[in-house]
Amino acid sequence: MTGARMPRAVRHLALFLALPILMTIALFNVPPAQSETTRIQRVISPGGIEAWLVHDTTLPLVAIEIAFVGGSAQDPVDKPGVASLTSSLLDEGAGELDSRAFQDRLAEKAIELRFDASRDALNGSLRTLSENLDPALELLRLAVTSPRFDDEAVERIRQSQLAVLRRRSTDPSSLASLGWSARAFPNHPYGRPVDGTLASVPTVTRADLASFAKRVLAKDNLKIAVVGDITPDQLGAALDRTFGALPAKAELTPVPDVVPQGLGSIVVKELNVPQASIVFGGIGLKRNDPDFIPAFVLNHMLGGSAFSSRLFREVREKRGLAYSVYSQLAPLDHTGLLLGGTATKNDRAAESIELIRAEYLKLLTDGPSEEELADAKSYLVGSFALRFDSSAKVAAQLLQIQLDDLGIDYIDVRNKLVAAVTPADIKRVAARFAKDPALLFSVVGRPVGISPSAN
């Protein structure tokens, strides 16, 4: 329709779809003499609240990512799922607005606001047109400072969460992951399901939710990343308006550091499915470990690449045991892990497990070839920009860098750190992993030739 004006909703969608390309250009296509991270500004409000900002006026949009350190590790021991329920209810009514009124305010201004919980943090994401920034921030303020937890909303979200848990109770990959965590971290918050259980979720009360929000949502454990059409001065004032009423200090229960238990054993849960889902893991490194980057490169060669890793070649290409297989470093606040997974026919599960063990030990013992190491570094350096191909990814990366305490210049130095990894670095970190290379396997299905083993 030549000359016709696009409907407002379509224009909003077009802006959001265009932003990924433009934000990538904004962050990475800078003059040689200009640092990428000169675009990242540390903004501190008059009230002392800090945020990292990438100010960009290419499009009239603002993306905000926040995190309160705490997460499901702060759940009561007998009530896993409190953090998850709390996060799901923050945008279900706040202040004088009940759930319907709150959601209507979001919809009428095309504002996207959502919250979720992980083991170590409760996260929030806000997307809005800059012309609607003030009402968007007001809704964010209400959500984190004055959540209502009305009975109707609590019961509706509770039933939704229970429906998810019922579906997971027959999902092999979910069960394998839950089984791994429960065996690896008995009597520790990391061993409890983030979203709770079919037994625990019905026992969570409004008082539990309000108590969690009061203890965890505070200024001293808050991290903020902002990307888009907002100036540092505007952001500074907005930070105090939005978060200034939060408690100064969180009341977090101390969470002890922990190492995974049950290494060298296999946990089997019988389920009548044609394939066995396998989750495996062992000791890794925390994010602040000086050897994390060499370990990151080492893992890429083991199972971090979908097409060139050793596990992919040996498990899929050579033997056709599985469609996919992966490994990754999983640095949590209180432990460092190497985790991975695959799925295979029940009668090939034992073979797959032995092959994963063997390839891991072989890499630790013999090390990679020079070509293998060079290829891994080249891929990791070249693909880094893909983490910034949308405003959401840019903000999420800035937030994660803050949570990991890597420094505001990390985007500048990250590729240099990867490129600088030497064979000696790989040998050193492989020797550290080789001190305790045993893996814990969690298998769900009807695997042939595998019996649960204890360690």
Would you say 84 and 115 are in contact if contact means Cβ atoms under 8 Å apart?
A: no
261 assigned to some structural domain? no
H/E stretch holding 340 reads: strand 335-345
Is 181 found in the same domain as 77?
yes
What is the extent of the structural domain holding 212?
8-243
Would you say 371 and 301 are in contact if contact means Cβ atoms under 8 Å apart?
A: no
State the SS3 of 134-183.
HHHHHHHHHHHHCECCCHHHHHHHHHHHHHHHHHHCCCHHHHHHHHHHHH
Is 239 found in the same domain as 272?
no
Distance CA 252, CA 112 (A): 29
303 assigned to some structural domain? yes
Residue 377: closest CA among 413, 412, 417: 417
pLDDT of 372-412, one tens digit each? 999 999 999 999 998 898 888 999 999 999 999 999 999 99
Using the 8-state DSSP alphabet, how is residue 73 labeled? G
Is 429 found in the same domain as 322?
yes
Would you say 363 and 301 are in contact if contact means Cβ atoms under 8 Å apart?
A: yes
Is 348 found in the same domain as 238?
no
CATH number at residue 399: 3.30.830.10
Q: Euclidean distance between the first and final Cα of the chain, in Å?
A: 70
Is 285 found in the same domain as 236?
no
Is 149 found in the same domain as 83?
yes
452 pLDDT band, cuts 50/70/90, is: low
Which of 29-33, 131-135, 309-313 has the least mean pLDDT? 29-33
Distance CA 180, CA 184 (A): 6
How many C-beta atoms surround the C-beta of residue 171 within 10 A? 15
Is 148 found in the same domain as 275?
no
Among the candidates 194, 211, 243, a domain finishes at: 243
**Tell me, what amino acid is at 316?**
R
Distance CA 423, CA 305 (A): 19
Structure tokens at 35: 């640092």
Would you say 347 and 268 are in contact if contact means Cβ atoms under 8 Å apart?
A: no
Would you say 268 and 443 are in contact if contact means Cβ atoms under 8 Å apart?
A: yes
Residue 232: closest CA among 54, 88, 73, 400: 54
Distance CA 112, CA 257 (A): 36
pLDDT of residue 4: 38
Would you say 161 and 85 are in contact if contact means Cβ atoms under 8 Å apart?
A: yes
Alpha-carbon dihedral angle through residues 224, 225, 229, 235, given to the nearest 10 degrees: 30
pLDDT, mean of residues 365-370:
96
Is 277 found in the same domain as 163?
no
How many C-beta atoms surround the C-beta of residue 101 within 10 A? 12
pTM: 0.90
Looking at the chain, how many residues does it have?
455
Q: In what order do the strands lie in the sheet with 325-332?
A: 266-270, 440-445, 275-283, 335-345, 325-332
pLDDT of residue 18: 43
Structure tokens at 399: 């937030």
Is 344 found in the same domain as 286?
yes
455 assigned to some structural domain? no
pLDDT, mean of residues 4-21:
41
pLDDT of 266-324, one tens digit each? 999 999 999 999 999 999 999 999 999 999 999 999 999 878 899 999 999 999 999 99
pLDDT of residue 364: 98
Q: Judge whether residue 8 has pLDDT over 50.
A: no
Is 205 found in the same domain as 132?
yes
Which residues are within 8 A (CB) of 86 and not within 5 positions of it... i.e. 6 or more apart?
117, 122, 147, 209, 212, 213, 216
pLDDT of residue 453: 56
Q: Judge whether residue 21 has pLDDT over 80.
A: no
Distance CA 61, CA 9 (A): 14
Exposure b/e, 284-297, CB count within 10 A at least 16 = b: bbbbeeebbbbbbb
6 pLDDT band, cuts 50/70/90, is: very low
Is 189 found in the same domain as 142?
yes
Would you say 85 and 196 are in contact if contact means Cβ atoms under 8 Å apart?
A: yes
144 assigned to some structural domain? yes
pLDDT of 328-366, one tens digit each? 999 999 999 999 999 999 999 999 999 999 999 999 999
